[in-house]
Structures are given as structure tokens and as C-alpha cells.
């Protein structure tokens, strides 16, 4: 019964929430599908108590919607919601870049330049195939967010919104073309931060995300994944 990856956490509910979140983001539980409490409880080998707690958490993350006396459903990605989410990202990560420009320590700036060099080398070696940054420490955006020094902002972006954002990345086959362009934009943002130009850093970050949003929109409208 106990499922494959069981990262022993302090409490069952946390474990289940983590696993369910991953399962949804990666599409193992398909979009729009119903979440059956008895079924999942049996599948994960726990009772319905902790499972329900996990579902409530997922609702807070916006990964499922719940209706009283009916149950929970996995969200259905669509273009409008994506655009809405990315508008929020634009505002929030723009603010993060602005803050980072005044508070990022010099050595972290250097580490980020090194990271971008690494990304560059990867593109050179893998004929421009997109770098797989699955939310780890190699994710440029996460590093900027953390450098903002705003704990609330970090929590919101990395714990509450990131699951959905990763879902959009994942399910559009990440075909937002031209990773070299994205890399150039990252470098420009970092330059602005290194020079403590908060206004410019915010502007560049917003353009960068706005552009990604446009590309994603085109991809979703062409792809059957969006309307399916």
C-alpha cells in the first residue's frame, strides 16, 4: 500500500500533501479529475483523517477546488488563469528584483553570475536544449526571490504559488522557445541588481515574465493540452 517515494516527515498529513502536490504537478493525477478520499486513503495506506488535511492544504495552494458535500477536483489549467497567475508573478517577482537590487550581498551576486555561466555552458553543450530547473537551487528566479529578503514574499512565491507555476511550465512541454534569449534577459536583470539599480531590475524582470507569459499563451492556444 505505502507508495513509492515516502520522504518521512514529522506527520502523515505533511507527507501526503507533498506527494499529492507532486502527483498533481507532474500529471500523475490528471487535471479536472475527482479526488476520491477513500480511494486515495487506501492507495497511500492511511486513514481519511490526514488525507483530508492534505486536501485542505492543497486547496490553499490552489491545486484543487473543493465543494461542500461533493468533494475535491484537480484544477483545470486554462489560458485565462495562466495569464492571471503570470500577472501576479510579474508584480511580485518585479518587486523581488527591486528589493534584491538593494539587499543582495556581493558574493551572492557572484554566485549567480557563475550560475548563469553554467547555464550558458549547458546550452553550448546540449544544442540549446532547455535547462531543466525543477525548482531546485539552480533556478535563477528562486534565487532572486530569496535575495529579496522579504520573508512573506518568499513564502507566497515559493510555497503557495510555485506549485501552480511549475504545473504550467510542465504541461506546456516547456516549449517556450529560445532559451538563449531567456538567458540574456537573466543576465541583464542580474547586471541591474549588481549595480543596485532597483527600478531597472524591476522593469527588466517584469518584461522577462511578461514575455514568458506571451509565449506560454501562444503555446497553450496551439496545443490541445490547453483546451483538452
Partner DNA sequence: AATAAGCATATTGTCGACAATGTGATGTTT
Partner DNA sequence: AAACATCACATTGTCGACAATATGCTTATT
Question: What is the binding site for DNA (CB under 7 A)?
Answer: 11-13, 34-39, 46-50, 52-53, 66, 68-72
Question: DSSP label at 66?
Answer: E
Nearer to DNA, 37 or 108 (CB): 37
Q: Considering only residues 2, 7, 132, 152, which one is a binding residue for a second copy as defined by CB under 8 A? A: 152
DSSP notation for 152-173: HHHHIIIIIIHHHHHHHHHHTT
List the end-to-end C-alpha distance of the chain, in Å, as a whole number: 32
Let me know if 144 is exposed, middle or buried by CB neighbors in 10 A (0-12, 13-18, 19+).
buried
Nearer to a second copy, 91 or 222 (CB): 91
Residue 217 C-alpha cell reads as 499563451
Q: Considering only residues 37, 42, 52, 108, which one is a binding residue for a second copy as defined by CB under 8 A? A: 52
Per CB under 8 A, 199 contacts a second copy: no
Contact, 82 vs 168, CB < 8 A? yes
Per CB under 8 A, 213 contacts a second copy: no
Per CB under 8 A, 23 contacts a second copy: no
- Minimum Å gap between C-beta 137 and a second copy is 23
Cα separation, 34 vs 125, in Å, equals 43
Contact, 43 vs 51, CB < 8 A? no
Cα separation, 58 vs 23, in Å, equals 12
The residue range among 36-44, 144-152, 192-200, 207-215 that interacts with a second copy, by the rule CB under 8 A, is: 144-152
- Minimum Å gap between C-beta 25 and a second copy is 17
Nearer to DNA, 51 or 97 (CB): 51
Sequence-distant (≥ 6) Cβ neighbours of residue 214 within 8 angstroms: none
Interface positions with a second copy (CB under 8 A): 10-11, 14, 49, 52-53, 56-57, 60-62, 68-69, 80-81, 84-85, 87-88, 90-92, 94-95, 99, 150-153, 155-156, 160
Amino acid at each position: 500500500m505505502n507508495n513509492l517515494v515516502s520522504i518521512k516527515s514529522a506527520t502523515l498529513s505533511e507527507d501526503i500533501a507533498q506527494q499529492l502536490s507532486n502527483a498533481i504537478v507532474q500529471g500523475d493525477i490528471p487535471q479536472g479529475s475527482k479526488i476520491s478520499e477513500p480511494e486515495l486513503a487506501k492507495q497511500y495506506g492511511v486513514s481519511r483523517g490526514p488525507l483530508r488535511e492534505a486536501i485542505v492544504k492543497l486547496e490553499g495552494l490552489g491545486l484543487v477546488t473543493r465543494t461542500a458535500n461533493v468533494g475535491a477536483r484537480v484544477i483545470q489549467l486554462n489560458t485565462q488563469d495562466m495569464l492571471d497567475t503570470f500577472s501576479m508573478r510579474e508584480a511580485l517577482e518585479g518587486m523581488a528584483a527591486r528589493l534584491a537590487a538593494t539587499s543582495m550581498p556581493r558574493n551572492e551576486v557572484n554566485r549567480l553570475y557563475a550560475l548563469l555561466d553554467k547555464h550558458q555552458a549547458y546550452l553550448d553543450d546540449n544544442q540549446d536544449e532547455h535547462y531543466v530547473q525543477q525548482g531546485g537551487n539552480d533556478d535563477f528566479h528562486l534565487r532572486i526571490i530569496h535575495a529579496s529578503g522579504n520573508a512573506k514574499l518568499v513564502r507566497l512565491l515559493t510555497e503557495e504559488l510555485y506549485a501552480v507555476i511549475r504545473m504550467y511550465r510542465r504541461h506546456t512541454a516547456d516549449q517556450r522557445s529560445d532559451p538563449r534569449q531567456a538567458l540574456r534577459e537573466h543576465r541583464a536583470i542580474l547586471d541591474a541588481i549588481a549595480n543596485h539599480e532597483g527600478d531597472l531590475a524591476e522593469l527588466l524582470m517584469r518584461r522577462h515574465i511578461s514575455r514568458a507569459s506571451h509565449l506560454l499563451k501562444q503555446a497553450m492556444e496551439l496545443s490541445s493540452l490547453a483546451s483538452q
